[in-house]
Each structure stands twice: as C-alpha cells, then as structure tokens.
Amino acid sequence: MRLTAPPIPSLSILDLAPIVEGGAVAGALANSLDLAQHAETWGYKRFWLAEHHNSTGIASAATAVVIAHVAAGTGAIRVGAGGVMLPNHAPLVIAEQFGTLAELHPGRIDLGLGRAPGTDQLTMLALRRDQHPGSDTFPQDVLELQAFLGDARSGELVRAIPGTGSHVPLWILGSSLYGAQLAAALGLPYAFASHFAPDALIPALAIYRDRFQPSDQLDEPYAMVAANVIVADDDSEARRLFTSAQQAFTNVLRGRRGQLPPPIDDIESYWSPEEKAEVSRMLNRSFVGSPQTVRAVLTEFVNETQADELIVAAAIHDHPARLRSYELLATGVTPAPVE
C-alpha cells in the first residue's frame, strides 16, 4: 500500500553552530554533531550549516570543515552549506572543497550558495573582497562553480580536482526577489531565508515558480522555506526558550552581536516598543509552542507557501532543550508516514 504523505513536508535543519553564553567553540561544534546524529535517527532530510564571519556567537565560519566534521559523524542524513557566501571565495576553491566532501561522503553533500557577505565591511576586506568585484558577479560565479563541478570538457586548462564530475547539487539561497529570479533562470532549487527576512517570501516564491526553467539538475521548481521553530512540552516553556532568539536579534539592532543568551522570564523588560516591533517583524515566520500549537500553525504555513521542504532553525541556549525541540517537531508535530 502506498505511504500516506504527512501534512507537513520533508523537514531539514539549519544550524549555525551557536556559541552560547558560558560556552565555547569546541562545545558548539560538539553540540552540532550531536544534534545531527539525533536528527538522523528522527528522520530529518538535511543538516545544513551557514557561513558567518567575525561573529562571537557562531562557530561555522569554516563551513566546509564543519560539514566534514558532521558528515563523518553521521551515516545517512544529507549534510551541506546553507550556505557558502560565494562572493567571499574563488569558485575553484569551493569546487575543490565540496568535490572533496562529495568523494568522502558520496550522495550526501549539498551546496547552497548565498550572495551576501555574511559579515561586516571590515571583515569583508579581511576576506580580500577588495580584490573581487563582490556580489555583482554572483551569477557568473555560480555558473563558473557549476562548470567546475560538472563533467570534464575537452580543452579545459583548469579543473577542480577533486570536484570535476562530482555534480554536487547546487541551491540558490535568498531573502529577496533577486535570488528567486536567478534560481528560476538557472533551473536550481531555491531556499528562502524567511527565518530572519520574511517580507518578500510569498512574492519570491511566486516569481521562482512562474519563471522556472528546467535544467540538467532539476525538471520542476523545488522550494525550501526556512522558519524558526521551537517546540516544548507546553506553550509557556516554548515561549520562554524563544526569548534567547528575541534577545539575540534585539542585540543585533543595538550593534552588540554576541553569544546566544540564556532565556529570560520577561522579554518585555528587555526590549523597547520600537525594538519589539522590528524584532517581531524579522521573526515573523517563527512557530513556537507545544506540539499541538506548532502543528496547527506550521500546517497553515505550508498551505500558504506550498513549500516542498521546510528547513528549521532553533536558537535554543540549552542543548538538551534544543534536542527536545527537534525531537518533538519530528515525532510530535510531523507524524511518520503510515502503511
């Protein structure tokens, strides 16, 4: 008998390898691997890590290295970048890195590509972006990278070794209409960063689907949508856990990026009305509560976006609580298919 599809599509995880207040980089990386190992047993499809630089609260700056760490400690879940900020790098270097990962972990590596620098202006200079035209050449860089990962061609003088012939799946990441247009034109899967920039979500998905051109990689549009999801045994505990993310975003507005703070009992005492309004806008696509509460709102979200896949972020200070949230999401919110 055919399996009955669950009301919520495939679930994946977006992890920033958060360094929490009172923690350290080694602990953050160990926690990411532990989460990936658990996620594999709970049926998550992918485990993606994101490139950020000069951030005291994120341990995944060397994204390919952390992907290697997680992939080596797991056996089936897809592991990838969500994403690599391509303007920071020469396409050949990324092709070699991810070609190597694909050789080490065949059929398990994804490469999501972003156009933003993932950092501040001074750090951009330290990354040698002063010697690169920056995001203006993003489409050309994607095509160059795609060629390095494709089959060898006669007359090529430069090849990615490893990399050539690996056909590592590429994704375009975005938080605006630009990425949607590019993903559609290139026939690539598209992931929208609605977990922190939700405003253009619905128009971007419409443009992507309307303008999609089939490619060798993809016959039909495939959209992954990001959301913050925090699940606990009851609504009040989930809302308390969510205050860590709310504080962190408030701190960004104040120009004080730092480590992920522990939750507090009264978020209203932490932010001003203006800060609350802006943070609430940025975190508009956040689903927080008990399994019953989250199931209802996530179902509405999926109906609204018609997402093919959800990728979930959960900025939770306490690692056991973070594990519990992802476990409840996989087992308490999304039922397993039944025969």
In tens, the pLDDT along 97-110 reads: 999 999 999 999 99
Q: Does the residue 51 lie in any domain?
A: yes
pTM (two decimals) = 0.93
Q: What is the pLDDT of residue 116?
A: 80
- Per the structure, the complete domain to which residue 75 belongs is given by 10-333
Q: Does the residue 265 lie in any domain?
A: yes
Residue 292 has pLDDT above 70, yes or no: yes
Q: Does the residue 196 lie in any domain?
A: yes
Alpha-carbon span 187 to 60, nearest angstrom: 28
Q: Does the residue 188 lie in any domain?
A: yes
Q: Does the residue 338 lie in any domain?
A: no
Q: What is the pLDDT of residues 207-264, one digit of tens each?
A: 999 999 999 999 999 999 999 999 999 999 999 999 999 999 999 999 998 999 999 9
Q: Comparing 332 with 56, which gets the higher pLDDT?
A: 56
Q: What is the pLDDT of residue 2?
A: 31
Number of folded domains in the chain?
1
Q: Under 8 Å CB-to-CB from 266, ≥6 apart: which residues? A: none
Q: What is the pLDDT of residue 132?
A: 55
Q: Does the residue 327 lie in any domain?
A: yes
Q: What is the DSSP letter of 45?
A: S
Q: Does the residue 339 lie in any domain?
A: no
Task: Name the band, by pLDDT with cuts 50, 70 and 90, for residue 156.
Answer: confident
Q: What is the pLDDT of residue 160?
A: 96
Alpha-carbon span 325 to 321, nearest angstrom: 6
Least confident of 115-124, 186-195, 206-215, 230-239: 115-124
Residue 135 has pLDDT above 90, yes or no: no
Q: Does the residue 3 lie in any domain?
A: no
Average pLDDT, the chain: 92
Residue 119 has pLDDT above 80, yes or no: no
Q: What is the pLDDT of residues 6-15, one digit of tens each?
A: 457 899 999 9
Q: What is the 3-state secondary structure (H, E, C) of 207-253?
A: HHHHHCCCCCCCCCCCEEEEEEEEECCCHHHHHHHHHHHHHHHHHHH
Average the pLDDT over 272-285 and give the result: 98
Q: Under a CB-based contact definition with an 8 Å cutoff, are residues 19 and 54 in contact? A: no
Q: What is the CATH number of the domain that holds 274?
A: 3.20.20.30
Q: What is the pLDDT of residue 103?
A: 98
